[in-house]
Copies of this chain bind each other. A is one copy, B any other.
Amino acid sequence: MEEGRKINVGILGATGTVGQRFITLLSAHPWFVIHALGASPRSAGKPYASAVNWKQATPIPSAVKTVVVRECKPEHFADCAIIFSGLDADAAGDIEAAFRAAELAVFSNAKNYRRDPNVPLIVPLVNPGHLSIIPQQQALHSPPLSKGFIVTNANCSTTGIVIPLAALEKAFGPLELLLVTTMQAISGAGYPGVASLDIMDNIVPHIGGEEEKIEWETLKILGGVQEDDQGAKSFDMHANHPLRVSAACNRVPVIDGHTECVSVRFARRPPPSPQQVREALAAFTPDAKALGCPSAPRHTITVHEEPDRPQPRLDRYYQDGAGVSVGRVRQCPVLDIKFVVLSNNVSIGAATSSIINAELAVLKGVVAA
């Protein structure tokens, strides 16, 4: 990054939960400057402060209070080098496609294009290499694109677990089996999201589509990019070492922070010991950090020794929620190793991932800064 030059970014879905988080995080970003905010036609034309129902614990950054919200049309965002999308899935499909077609670089939190064979699904602390699919995504577009593309980040509950799993595969080779039970915060459902009558003094043992997302996304993210004889690239879905994933998802009365109980079996026999696992997790340094992404956490995985950690209320805001916490690493009598992961679903599980993805794209020259 050239000293002193800032990159204009736009935020779609700026009044929503993820949008508010983008604004909070980007208002102090060293490279990016919020240039344009997009929301529904109902909000368009209003100053941001009167369009939004602000729900963050810090006030609206003063720089965006008077920014006039725009409709989510590409022509209103032409002067943005990067677009962050916090749109809901029902709107994201068409709008993100239109922005890409208008040669804009879109970093999306929505689920719509995660399964697209030419769209990378990137957890920035895990698989930035998947950005290599972008030229193919642009070439196959009709008409072909030179600058526009879509990068998605993962579902929040997937993100939390793939970071330590990537660390384990890096250290000990492929995993064979993964069983995860999630306890997910209400903020993962957006606003108004979960009704208080449904979750106070309660557990809801079901989140629509969530288990399928974890079971599928984990394979795409932990897998590699393969190339056939004609040079066509595709995601291998961890095919070299098939990985079976079983997820059970629960909504719990916690505001922020997804807690996940994980059991894994390694291909390698004998498997690593709990102590080896702890050390590998603590030592994990992702490329995003090595490359110098300013939003990458200083400690990617914090390994807790206390028997009762991590806990969402105590650990979710460490490093602004950009890393993950792992604790209770121990043997699993059924698979090999079990542990607990805590990740901040609105930070590394959502907006922070998009932002680091964009930082990676800048550093790798995928986005023209």
Contacts and interface: CB of A to CB of B under 8 A. Distances in A.
By CB atoms of chain B within 10 A, which of A208, A263, A314 has the most? A314
A334 interface: yes
A220 to B, nearest CB: 16
Contacts of A327: 205
Contact of A197 (B193, B308, B310): B193
A129 B312 CA distance: 43
Interface residues of A, number: 61
B201 A308 contact: no
Interface stretch (A240-248, A289-297, A353-361): A240-248
State the copy count for this chain: 4
Nearest to A247: B333
B328 A183 contact: no
A206 interface: yes
A192 B196 CA distance: 7
A199 B327 CA distance: 18
Contacts of A338: 246, 248
Contact of A263 (B59, B195, B202, B246): B246
A206 to B, nearest CB: 4
Given A204-B308, A206-B307, A314-B57, A196 B253 contact: yes
Nearest to A194: B196
A183 B250 CA distance: 10
Contacts of A252: 183, 203, 252-253
Interface string A214-246: 010000000000000000000000000000111
24 contacts: A55-B197, A57-B313, A59-B318, A178-B334, A181-B248, A191-B197, A193-B195, A195-B195, A196-B196, A196-B198, A196-B199, A197-B255, A200-B255, A200-B313, A202-B312, A202-B313, A205-B310, A205-B327, A206-B308, A245-B333, A248-B338, A252-B253, A253-B254, A255-B313
Given A181-B261, A204-B311, A245-B333, 20 more contacts: A57-B316, A58-B317, A59-B318, A181-B181, A183-B183, A183-B250, A186-B200, A194-B196, A196-B198, A199-B200, A200-B200, A200-B255, A202-B254, A202-B312, A202-B314, A206-B308, A246-B333, A253-B253, A253-B254, A255-B313
